[in-house]
């Protein structure tokens, strides 16, 4: 037997370390740049009602389930699903492949953030922030299939971001992921507190928050608002990435799990709610400076971080560079702690199945992800990133999450057993609501979300991109990850269950 196989399973140094790592995984770029706009765009303050219901009926229940699966079977998602039903190992590989693919472009975005962190010194983006981002920085090509060459201004921060993530992953669960989370998460929160305080003291902040929170109660009758709430909770907490399965497998068996689920889910939601105060107060400030309405400047995602925020930083009366460093620093820390968790899914999977040591598994997974990521560093990269992101989130994550709850609730029929097992060690016992949420509410909602997404795909082709692009990089990639999952299932296990679970 090789030395590799005899390695002990990695462990978090403490329960606190696990919770911090899980919070680091859950809090990502989307908490800062997506959530505030989703609230604004879906009924303002009224959105909070479906959002709370989604947290209670999908976010927390799935999170607790994933903790249980990882902790009970002491393995990654393929091990956990295979243990529930031998024929369902592919689902774990599907989630691992989806996470891997998301990680490939997530690293490119972290590279952009790193570059903008540097550009914050002296507001190097100039006055035309949109022209700088799409032109000088990304060098976006004229059309979808004009790949262009590598964009060196993006390649350099991309390589640096990868060096940091690779180093953290090589150091392992305790000395890498856990330590980084314990340092970076408090720092990120402190940075966000400063951003919010500065934002709230700017002229126009009250108007921004008024637009954000004023409830449009009529929105509660719109099914799209409910879909948006479930989508936000699903993507934000990061269920169906199977990160939480991998992380919980690094805890001693029979650890307390439900209360940790509440802490992580509410930290994630509480942070994005807090970040929304900062984002909309500075958007209110921007609207005042431009003598326009908040609705004219409200935006999300890449447009918010790399176009609107540099504009805001340009307009600040003082300490412009410091505000830029705080904002892009907070994004960077949120991104890094999520990125390491996304790659840990694949690393734990291949280690469990093939018995690789950590260095080898990290090198293979990260090396391959780096090479795939180079596609997004080209001049056409923004189109490809946008397309893959849209499809892999809307179909890969949502559908694999749907299969996950169907497997546990309806195929393996394990929810009652899991509930009693969870409650043996729980600070907060999980009640019947947990079973109802996972067996009925979540599947119905996810089926509804998928049906809506498919309808929308045909009614409004995404971003007006060419059909060939959507077919190859959207549909093609989504199908490819499923094929990869079945190939991995067919490969022979090099480690026995006992060895995996040790």
Given the rule CB under 8 A, which residues bind other proteins? 19, 44-46, 48, 52, 206, 209-210, 212-215, 256, 259-260, 262-263, 266-267, 269-270, 273, 427-428
Cβ–Cβ under 8 Å, residues 352 and 78: yes
DSSP 349-385: HHHHHH---HHHHHHHHHHHHHHHHGGGGBTTHHHHH
CB of 36 to other proteins, least distance (A): 12
Q: Give the angle 168-346-178 at the CA atoms, nearest 5°.
A: 30
Which of 277, 294, 225 is CA-nearest to residue 48? 225
CB of 297 to other proteins, least distance (A): 18
CB of 55 to other proteins, least distance (A): 8
| Complex with other proteins: residue 16 or 480, whichever CB lies closer | 16
| Complex with other proteins: residue 281 or 453, whichever CB lies closer | 281
Cβ–Cβ under 8 Å, residues 74 and 335: no
| Complex with other proteins: residue 165 or 298, whichever CB lies closer | 298
CB of 119 to other proteins, least distance (A): 33
How far apart CA 105 and CA 29 sit, in angstroms, is 13
| Complex with other proteins: residue 56 or 155, whichever CB lies closer | 56
CB of 66 to other proteins, least distance (A): 17
| Complex with other proteins: residue 264 or 331, whichever CB lies closer | 264
Cβ–Cβ under 8 Å, residues 117 and 330: no
CB of 164 to other proteins, least distance (A): 29
End-to-end CA distance of the chain: 15
| Complex with other proteins: residue 168 or 229, whichever CB lies closer | 229
CB of 434 to other proteins, least distance (A): 15
Provide the token pair at 112.
């952009």
Instruction: Count other Cβ atoms within 10 Å, centred on residue 66.
Output: 31
| Complex with other proteins: residue 280 or 391, whichever CB lies closer | 280
CB of 274 to other proteins, least distance (A): 8
How far apart CA 8 and CA 117 sit, in angstroms, is 39
| Complex with other proteins: residue 85 or 210, whichever CB lies closer | 210
CB of 428 to other proteins, least distance (A): 7
CB of 264 to other proteins, least distance (A): 9
| Complex with other proteins: residue 210 or 501, whichever CB lies closer | 210
CB of 357 to other proteins, least distance (A): 34
Instruction: Count other Cβ atoms within 10 Å, centred on residue 23.
Output: 22
How far apart CA 217 and CA 234 sit, in angstroms, is 23
User: How far, rounded to the nearest angstrom, does the alpha carbon of residue 21 sit from its chain's CA centroid?
Assistant: 13
Task: List phi, psi (to 5°) of 151.
Answer: -95, 105
| Complex with other proteins: residue 47 or 73, whichever CB lies closer | 47
Cβ–Cβ under 8 Å, residues 192 and 273: no
178 Cβ neighbours under 8 A, 6+ residues apart: 12, 13, 17, 18, 20, 21
In three-state secondary structure terms, 252 is coil
| Complex with other proteins: residue 276 or 470, whichever CB lies closer | 276
Cβ–Cβ under 8 Å, residues 473 and 47: no
In order of 56, 137, 195, 320, the CA distances from 125 in angstroms are 42, 9, 20, 12
Which of 377, 397, 339 is CA-nearest to residue 29? 339
Helix, strand, coil percent content, the chain, rounded in steps of 5: 80, 0, 20
């Amino acid at each position: 037997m090789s030395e590799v196989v005899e390695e002990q399973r990695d462990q978090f140094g403490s329960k606190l370390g696990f919770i911090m790592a899980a919070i680091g995984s859950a809090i990502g770029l989307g908490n800062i740049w997506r959530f505030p706009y989703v609230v604004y765009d879906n009924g303002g303050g009224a959105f909070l009602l479906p959002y709370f219901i989604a947290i209670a009926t999908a976010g927390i229940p799935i999170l607790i389930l994933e903790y249980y699966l990882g902790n009970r079977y002491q393995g990654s998602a393929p091990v956990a699903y295979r243990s529930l039903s031998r024929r369902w190992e592919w689902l774990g590989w599907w989630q691992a492949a989806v996470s891997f693919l998301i990680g490939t472009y997530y690293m490119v975005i972290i590279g952009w953030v790193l570059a903008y962190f540097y550009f914050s010194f002296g507001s190097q983006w100039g006055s035309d922030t949109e022209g700088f981002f799409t032109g000088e920085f990304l060098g976006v090509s004229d059309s979808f299939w004009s790949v262009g060459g590598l964009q060196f201004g993006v390649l350099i921060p991309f390589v640096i971001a990868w060096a940091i993530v690779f180093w953290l992953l090589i150091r392992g669960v305790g000395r890498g992921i856990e330590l980084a989370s314990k340092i970076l998460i408090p720092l990120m929160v402190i940075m966000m507190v400063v951003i919010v305080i500065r934002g709230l003291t700017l002229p126009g902040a009250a108007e921004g928050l008024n637009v954000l929170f004023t409830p449009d109660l009529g929105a509660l009758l719109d099914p799209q608002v409910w879909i948006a709430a479930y989508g936000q909770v699903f993507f934000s907490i990061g269920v169906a990435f199977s990160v939480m399965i991998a992380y919980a497998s690094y805890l001693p068996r029979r650890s307390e799990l439900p209360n940790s689920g509440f802490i992580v889910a509410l930290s994630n939601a509480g942070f994005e709610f807090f970040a929304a105060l900062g984002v909309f107060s500075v958007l209110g400030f921007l609207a005042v400076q431009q003598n326009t309405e908040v609705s004219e400047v409200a935006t999300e995602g890449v447009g918010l971080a790399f176009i609107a925020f540099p504009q805001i930083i340009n307009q600040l009366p003082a300490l412009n560079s410091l505000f830029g460093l705080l904002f892009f620093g907070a994004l960077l820390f949120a991104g890094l702690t999520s990125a390491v968790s996304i790659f840990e899914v694949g690393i734990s999977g291949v280690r469990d199945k093939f018995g690789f040591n950590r260095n080898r598994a990290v090198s293979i997974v990260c090396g391959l992800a780096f090479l795939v990521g180079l596609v997004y560093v080209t001049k056409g990269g923004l189109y490809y990133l946008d397309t893959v992101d849209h499809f892999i989130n809307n179909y890969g994550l949502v559908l694999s999450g749907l299969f996950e709850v169907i497997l546990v609730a309806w195929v393996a029929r394990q929810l009652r057993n899991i509930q009693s097992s969870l409650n043996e060690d729980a600070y907060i016992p999980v009640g019947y609501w947990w079973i109802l949420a996972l067996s009925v509410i979540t599947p119905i909602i996810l089926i509804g979300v998928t049906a809506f997404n498919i309808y929308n795909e045909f009614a409004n082709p995404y971003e007006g991109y060419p059909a060939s692009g959507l077919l190859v990089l959207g549909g093609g990639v989504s199908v490819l990850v499923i094929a990869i999952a079945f190939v991995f299932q067919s490969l022979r296990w090099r480690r026995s269950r006992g060895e995996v679970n040790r």
